[in-house]
Amino acid sequence: MVEIQGNKREKTQPSSVGVSERLLLLTIGFVMLAEILIYVPSIAAFRNSWLSDRLAAARTAALLIEAAPPDSIPDATIQELLRNLQAKTVTIKINGARRLLAVSSMPEMIDRQFDLRQPTILMSIGESFDTLLMGGRRTVNVVGPAPMGGDFVDIVIDEAPLRNAMLSYSVNILIVSLIVSGITAALLYFTMLRMIVRPVSRLVSSIMEFADSPEDAGRIIALSGRRDEIGRAEEALHGMQKALSKQLKQKKRLARLGLAVSKINHDLRNMLASVQLFSDRLAVLPDPTVQRFAPKLISALDRAISFCQSTLAFGKAEESPPSPKRLPLAPLLEEVREMLGAGDDGLTGIGWQSAVPHGFHVHADPDHLFRILINLGRNSIQALKQHRSNGDWMPAITIRASNGGGFARIDVADNGPGVPPALRNSLFEAFAGSSGKGSTGLGLAIAADLARAHGGSIELICEHERHAAQGAVFRITLPQPHG
Using an 8 Å Cβ cutoff, are 134 and 106 in contact?
no
- Separation in Å, CA 267 to CA 256, 257, 262, 302, 309: 18, 16, 10, 16, 11
pLDDT per residue as tens digits for the range 97-114: 666 666 666 666 888 888
Kindly state the average pLDDT of the residues 207-235: 82
**3-state SS assignment for residue 196:** helix
- Separation in Å, CA 137 to CA 59, 72, 86: 25, 35, 14
Neighbours of 166 (CB within 10 A): 21
Question: For all residues of the chain together, what is the average pLDDT?
Answer: 77
Question: What percent of the chain lies above the pLDDT cut of 70?
Answer: 70
Report the run of H or E that residue 282 belongs to, with start and end: helix 229-282
To the nearest 10°, report the CA torsion of 319, 261, 341, 401. Answer: -10
Of 182, 210, 244, the residue at which a domain comes to its end is 182
pLDDT per residue as tens digits for the range 425-451: 778 776 665 555 545 567 788 888 889
Kindly state the average pLDDT of the residues 181-192: 81
- Tell me the pTM: 0.45
Kindly state the average pLDDT of the residues 82-94: 73
Q: Which of 33-37, 325-329, 447-451 is least confident?
A: 33-37
Using an 8 Å Cβ cutoff, are 280 and 250 in contact?
no
Helices (H), 138-224: 160-192, 198-212
Any domain includes 36 = yes
Any domain includes 8 = no
Nearest-CA neighbor of 40 among 162, 124, 119? Answer: 124
C-alpha to C-alpha distance for 129 and 126, rounded to whole angstroms: 5
- Cβ-based neighbours of 3, under 8 Å, separated by 6 or more: none
What's residue 441's pLDDT?
63
**Positive or negative, the Cα torsion across 102, 105, 108, 112?**
negative
- Is a pLDDT exceeding 90 seen at residue 360? yes
Any domain includes 427 = yes
Any domain includes 129 = yes
DSSP structure class, residue 195: I
Any domain includes 130 = yes
Overall residue count recorded for the chain in this entry: 483
Using an 8 Å Cβ cutoff, are 430 and 250 in contact?
yes
Most confident of 65-79, 256-270, 447-461: 447-461
What's residue 242's pLDDT?
85
Of 139, 157, 182, the residue at which a domain comes to its end is 182
Any domain includes 125 = yes
Angle subtended at Cα 422 by Cα 417 and Cα 423, rounded to the nearest 5 degrees: 75
C-alpha to C-alpha distance for 459 and 428, rounded to whole angstroms: 9
C-alpha to C-alpha distance for 355 and 361, rounded to whole angstroms: 14
Any domain includes 412 = yes
**Pairwise pLDDT comparison (36 vs 290), residue with the higher score:** 36
Any domain includes 210 = no
CATH code for the domain of 426: 3.30.565.10
**Number of independent structural domains in the chain:** 2
pLDDT per residue as tens digits for the range 373-409: 988 988 888 888 877 666 677 888 999 999 988 999 9
Of 153, 182, 211, the residue at which a domain comes to its end is 182
Structural domain harbouring 135: 19-182
| DSSP secondary structure of 20-47 | HHHHHHHHHHHHHHHHHHHHHHHHHHHH
